[in-house]
Amino acid sequence: MNKALVQRIATELEEIKTAGLFKNERIITSEQGPEITVNGSTVLNFCANNYLHRIYIKNWNKR
C-alpha cells in the first residue's frame, strides 16, 4: 500500500481521536435480538439496522 496514503490516514485518525470524535465499536458476543450481550452484560438492543431482523424471517428473500 502507498506509504503516503497510510500516513495520511493515520494522521487523520489521530486527529479524530484527539478531537474526541472517535467511536469505539462495542463487540456483541451473542446472537442479534431484542437483548444482546456486550462486555459480559445483557443490554437492550436499539439497533438501527432493521434489516438484521430478516435473519429471523424464514425464506425472506423468496418473497
7-55 tens-digit pLDDT: 999 999 999 999 999 988 888 999 888 899 999 999 998 876 555 555 5
| Cα distance between residue 61 and residue 8, in whole Å | 41
pLDDT of the residue at 25: 85
pLDDT of the residue at 60: 56
pLDDT of the residue at 11: 97
In the chain, domain spans: 3-62
pLDDT of the residue at 30: 93
pLDDT of the residue at 7: 97
Residue 36 corresponds to which amino acid? Answer: I
| Cα distance between residue 29 and residue 36, in whole Å | 7
Instruction: Output 63 or 33, whichever has higher pLDDT.
Output: 33
